[in-house]
Structure 1
Amino acid sequence: MATDLRVSLTDLCSLRCTYCMPAEGLDWLTKAQRLSDDEFLRLAALFVKLGVTSVRLTGGEPLVHPTLPEVVGRLAALDPRPEISLTTNGVTLTRSAARLAEAGLDRINVSVDTLNPARFAELTRRDRLSEVLDGVAAAAGAGLNPVKINSVLVRGSNLDEAPDLLAWTLRSGFRLRFIEHMPLDADHTWSREDMVTAEEILAIVEAAGYVVQPVGQRGSAPAEEFEIVDGPDRASWAAETGRLGIIASITRPFCRDCDRLRLTADGQLRTCLFAQSETDLRGPLRNGATDDDLAAIIIAAVAGKQAGHGIGEDGFVQPERSMSAIGG
C-alpha cells in the first residue's frame, strides 16, 4: 500500500499561471461534484487505516477552501495521526498560517517562481507577489519550518532567476525545490524541448558559484536532494550549509519508488499523476458503500498501478485533466 496521499480539496485557484491554466480559468466543478469535508475525512481515515502515513492537502489552491483549518484539525485527530502538509500559492497565507499551525499542520510548500513583481504578474496574470512573500514569512513565523519553496523555471521567462531564488532561500533559511515543467497544462502546449531540465538547473547553479553535493538516497521522495556547501555571500546564509531539491519527473523519473496516491476534489483516485484512468470513490461513497467496500476498491486500484508514466515513449498521451484539476 502507498503511504503518501495527496488530497485536492478544490479545483479553484486564485492565480492563473501561464504554465497551468488559461487566463479565463477552467470549467470549475460544482459544489455538488466536489466532495464534502465529511466525505474527504471519511476517505482520509480509511486511507490511514490502510497504511497512509502522510497526507498533503493541495488544489487548485487549498487556501480558498473555506474550512481548511477545520480539515487540518480533523486530520490531526486521526489515529494513527498522519503527517499533514500543504502545497499553496501563498496568496492569502498571512491570514491563515498561524491558525493552520495551531490546527496541526506540520509542513508547507509555497510556490514562488520569481522575485520580480512584473514577472510574477506576467507568469500568474495577477499582481500579488508581495502577498505571497508576506505569506512565506508568516509560515516561517508560525513555526512551519523548514518552509519549502517550489519553483518551476520557464525558458524565456524566469530561467535567469534561478541563482537569485537560491540566494533568497539560503538567506532566509527556506528550502528551494526546482521542479521540471510537466505535461499537465490545460492548454496541452507542453514541449520537452522547451522544458528546463535538472541537468540545466544544476549547471546554472554551479555556474553561479555554488558548490553542491548529492545527499544520499532519496528513497520514495520526489526530490533529489543536494547540499549547498559553499557559494556567493555565504556569510549571509541562515545556516552553514543549505539544501536544494530538484524534482525531475521527466528526465530522472522515480516511478519505481513512487508511493503516492492522489484523491481529486471530485472523489477520483489516481495512482499516477499521468494516469489516463481514475477509480471512482465518490459514487460508491454516496451510494452507501461500507468502509470494507471502499477499502476493497482502493486496494484493487493500487494493485493495478502503472509501472511508469511513459513520457517520451511512443503512444504517451497527456492526461486530459490539468495539474490544477488533479492536485499536486
Structure 2
Amino acid sequence: MLEDEFGREVSGVRVSLTDRCNFDCVYCHNEGLGDTRGPQDPQDDEMTADDVVRFLEVVDEFGVGKVKFTGGEPMLRQDLEEIVRRTPDSMEVSLTTNGTFLPGRAEGLVDAGLERVNVSQDAVDPDAFAEITNSGAYERVVDGVDAALDAGLAPVKLNMVVFEATAGYIPELVDRVAERDGLQLQLIEYMPEIAGNPEWAIDIERVHDWLAEQADRVEHRDMHDRKRYFVDGGMVEIVDPVGNAEFCANCHRVRVTHDGKLKGCLNRGDDHRSMGDMTKPEIRETFRETVANRVPYYGEYLVQDDDGEWVVNDAYLPAPAQD
C-alpha cells in the first residue's frame, strides 16, 4: 500500500463518474471542482467504463481496498451496474447518490456487487427539500431509501449537509434513524472554503453538544477524528473537516474526477494530475505521484497564524518570479 510523506496510507478511492446531476443543490461543490453542472446527457469528457475499471485494477495492485462511486449523480450513468460488476473482487464498493434512481435499480446494483449506499437527504419537509435541492423529488428520494433497504443494502446512511437551511431538521432526522431499522445518519459540516457563502455556515460544535445531551453512548473513530452518537438505538455520525487538522491527518483517500484526473485533497484545485490516455503505465505513474505529493490541508497546506487564522503555508506558495 502506498503512503505519502506524512505516513498516510491510501486505502480508498472516490471515483466521480460524472459531473451531471438531476438536482441543483445550493451547497454543491461537485467533489471540489466547483459549480460545473450542465446538460444531463452523457458528456465526451467522462471516463468510459473501461477507463474506470482499468484505474481500479491498477490501484488494486497497490492494496487499495475500497472504492466509493460519486458524481454529480452517479446513477445517471447507465453503465453503473457494469462498472460495479467489473470492479475487482477485493474492493468494497459503495455509492453516494441522491436516491431518485434507486427504485428499479437498487436490486440490480446489489446483484452486481454494490455493498453500501449513502443517500442525500437534507430535510424532511418537501417544500424545504425542494428549495435546497431545486427539485421536486422528495418522495422519490424516500422511495429510493426504501428500495435500498429492500435490496439488502442496510445500513443505508442518510447524508445531510449541515448549514443554516438544514440544521433545524436534525432532530427529525435523528428520530427517523432511531425509528427505522437499517438507517444511519451522517451530518456533514458545510464547507464554505469550497462551496462559498460563508454566512451559511453554523457552529458545528453546537450540533455535537446537542447530540451529546441526547445520546445514550458516544464513540470516537480514529479515521478523520469522527464521533458517533447513539440516540434511542439510532446511530448519528458527524463529519466536521473545517479547521480540523486531525481530520486531515487521518485522510486515507485519493479522488478521481469524472474526466480522469487524480487529486490528493478535496479542498485543493491545484493538485490535479491527468492520467493521460488511461493506459495502465500512465495510471500507475500518476497514482504514485499523487500519493507522494499528498499534503494534509489543515495543519500543513494551511497553518494558523498568530491570530489563529488559517493561511497558506509559505512552503506551498509559488516561488517569486525572477527578474
| TM-score (structure 1 length as normaliser) | 0.81
Going from structure 1 to structure 2, the CA distance change for 1:125 and 1:266 (only over 3 Å counts) comes to same
Q: Which residue of 1 aligns with 2:65?
A: 53
* 1:138 has 2:147 as partner: yes
Are the equivalent residues in 1 in contact too, given 2:262–2:286 (CA < 8 A)? Answer: no
Q: How does 1:1-328 map to 2 (within 5 A)?
A: 1=2, 2-20=10-28, 26-27=37-38, 31-75=43-87, 78-79=88-89, 81-155=90-164, 157-173=165-181, 174-183=183-192, 189-191=196-198, 194-205=200-211, 210-216=214-220, 218-220=221-223, 223-228=226-231, 230=232, 241-253=233-245, 254-285=247-278, 289=279, 291-309=280-298, 310=302, 313-315=310-312
Name the Cα RMSD after superposition.
Answer: 2.4
The 1:40–1:51 alpha-carbon spacing in structure 2 relative to 1, beyond 3 Å, is same
Query: What is the CA deviation profile of residues 273-294 of structure 1, one whole-angstrom value per residue up to 9, with x for unaligned ones?
Result: 0123234334242xxx4x3443
Aligned AA for 1:313?
A: W
Q: Which runs of 5+ in 2 are unaligned?
A: 3-9, 304-308, 314-323
Give the Cα separation in 2 of the matches to 1:25 and 1:11.
7
* Aligned amino acid, residue 94 of structure 1: P
The 2-side partners of 1:248 and 1:105 are apart by 27
Give, as a single letter, the amino acid of the residue that structure 2 aligns with 1:26. R
Displacement after TM superposition at 1:33 (Å):
1.4
1:204 Cα deviation after fit: 3.6
Cα offsets for 1:200-229 (capped at 9, x unmatched): 11234456xx2253214x23257432222x
Count matched residues. Answer: 290
TM-score w.r.t. length of structure 2:
0.83
Structure 1 segments of 4 or more deviating over 4 A? 27-30
CA contact (8 A) 2:179 2:234 kept: no
Question: Given residue 230 of structure 2, which amino acid in structure 1 is its aligned partner?
Answer: E
For the residues of structure 1 that align with 2:253 and 2:36, how far apart are their CA atoms?
27
Query: One-letter code of the match for 1:305?
Result: R
Contact residue 163 and residue 205 of structure 1 kept, 8 A = no
C-alpha deviation, 1:96, in angstroms: 0.9
Is the contact made by 2:192 and 2:201 (CA closer than 8 Å) also made in structure 1? no
Which whole-Å CA distance do the structure 2 matches of 1:307 and 1:25 have between them? 25
**Percent identity, aligned pairs only?**
31
